Structure 1
Amino acid sequence: MNSYWILLPAIIVALIAVPLVSVARGAKTGKHARNRIIGNLCMFFGVCLCAVLFPVGALAAEGGVVASIVGTSAQGMGFLAAALVTGLAAIGAGIAVAAAAPAAIGAVSEDPKSFGKAIIFVVLGEGIAIYGLLISILIINKL
């Protein structure tokens, strides 16, 4: 066994967990919050650097564990399209719900009988994400 198998995951877990120390201590505002953001950014780029310098795929290929992945560029573009459809639909649904839910809460607080009408607008926003997921499933089925 190569020592990278033990060291690399330990380094990555440590880089991800270090910024959480200030969260566990309860630092929420001021200088601690700024240090926490800077720490998160540094640890993120540290994990990215570890992924570039020590590719795990190369380590797994040495042991003969990973088989080669064969596909066409059209399949790759299809998977990217499916990911974009799902992601952008979820963002759109989030924006729609962010606008509709507070308005629905305000309407229900003034008139409790308007709950049924108000909840329909919130559900319509959520439908956008479901449509995006459906389209991505159809794209992946064609690949």
Structure 2
Amino acid sequence: MTPWLLTVPVAVLVGVAAVALLRRRTAVGWRLLVAVDAVVLVGALVLVVLALSAAPASAGAELAADTTTTAGIGGSALFAAAIAVAGSSIGAAFAVAYTGSAALAAMSERPEIFGRAMVVVGLAEGIAIYGLVIAMIMIGRA
């Protein structure tokens, strides 16, 4: 956990430097940011390819024969579950943002519609729960 905690100040410093660079030299700053984004994207794609093509790890030689007989969860099923949860959560975030702001605007004019407005916001949040259920089904069948 400590290495992840140490990256937070580095990320903040990189963000501040990027904003300062974009304020002073916009053309050079955008080119540099696009180049850094491309390098990060290529690195992420390499990690995904390595994760999908890796063999399952074994605890020792005595367990090697046991791991060949059992079928484990596939890496692609885990990626599909992660995409289902991430996509539904992002969709729910947009839905709650729009319905929540509309509900607050309506409640500022008529406070008695609080209950109906919260039902609409709750239905928008249900999208994330559907994604979680789909992810559980995909992991269970893998």
Q: Is the 8 A contact 2:96 2:121 kept in 1?
A: yes
Identity among equivalent positions (%) equals 32
Closer, same or farther in 2 for the Cα pair 1:118/1:142, shift >3 Å?
A: same
Q: TM-score, normalised by structure 1?
A: 0.57
In structure 1, distance between residues paired with 2:76 and 2:42: 26
Q: TM-score, normalised by structure 2?
A: 0.57
Q: Which 10-residue stretch deviates more, 92-101 or 31-40? A: 31-40
Determine whether 1:127 maps to 2:122: no
Task: Report which of the two has the higher share of helix.
Answer: 2
**Structure 2 matches for 1:51-70, cutoff 5 A?**
68-69=55-56
- What is residue 16 of structure 2 aligned with on the other side? 21
Q: Where does the alignment leave 5 or more consecutive residues of structure 2 unmatched?
A: 1-6, 58-67
- What is residue 111 of structure 1 aligned with on the other side? 110
Q: Is the 8 A contact 1:27 1:33 kept in 2?
A: no
Q: Where does the alignment leave 5 or more consecutive residues of structure 1 unmatched?
A: 1-12, 58-66
In structure 1, distance between residues paired with 2:131 and 2:26: 36
Instruction: Give the C-alpha shift of residue 94 in structure 1.
Output: 2.4
Give 1:45's aligned amino acid.
Answer: A
In structure 2, distance between residues paired with 1:28 and 1:122: 40
CA RMSD of aligned residues (A): 3.9
Q: Which 10-residue stretch deviates more, 76-85 or 128-137? A: 76-85
Give 1:69's aligned amino acid.
Answer: P
In structure 2, distance between residues paired with 1:49 and 1:88: 22
